[in-house]
Structure formats: C-alpha cells, structure tokens
C-alpha cells in the first residue's frame, strides 16, 4: 500500500480509536453469529480465528452493505413523503 513508506506514521494507515471500536463491534457481531444455530461448527472455529485485517475487511463489507440499504430507506422515505404531500394537497 505504501512502498516508499511515506505514510507509515500517517493517520491514514495507522489504526486509531474509531478503528478499534469498529473492530470490536464487528467481533461482537461475529460472536453472535458463532453462538447461533445457523453457523456450522467448522465455520464457528474459522470465525474465532480471524485476524485483525480479516475482521477489518468484514467490517468494510458490512458498512458498505448498510450504507447501500440506507440509501434505499431514504428513497422510500422520499416516496412516502411525496405520497403524503399529494394526499394532503388533494384534501385541502
């Protein structure tokens, strides 16, 4: 990522407190998955052995998925608001 080492001490590449909180949250979610019945025992062990970078990658995937769904919710809210406004206008 940084072959010349220009950003080696930069906040862009060093994990900070927010990164640690995200990793802890993702590990908590993975812990919930491990304790559920939907995960096979072999997969449970794989989840338990994930490295920091692997958990970080899973976090990014989850964040992107939630962000995409957030846009869907916003679009739904706009449509709902439009419908409510049209109904109010027709009743006035």
Write the pLDDT tens digit of every residue in 43-90: 777 877 888 888 888 888 888 888 888 878 788 788 888 888 888 888
Domain spans of the chain, in order of start: 17-91
Query: pLDDT tens, 35-56?
Result: 777 777 777 778 778 888 888 8
CA atoms within 13 A on the CB side of 85: 6
Tokens of 38: 């939907």
Which position has the token pair 């679009």? 75
Tokens of 83: 């419908």
pTM metric for this prediction: 0.45
């Amino acid at each position: 990522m940084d072959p010349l080492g220009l950003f080696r001490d930069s906040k862009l590449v060093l994990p900070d407190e927010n990164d640690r909180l995200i990793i802890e949250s993702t590990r908590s979610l993975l812990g919930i998955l491990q304790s559920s019945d939907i995960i096979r025992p072999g997969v449970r062990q794989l989840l338990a052995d994930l490295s920091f970078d692997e958990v970080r990658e899973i976090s990014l995937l989850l964040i992107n998925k939630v962000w995409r769904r957030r846009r869907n919710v916003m679009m739904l809210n706009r449509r709902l608001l439009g419908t409510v406004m049209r109904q109010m206008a027709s009743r006035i």
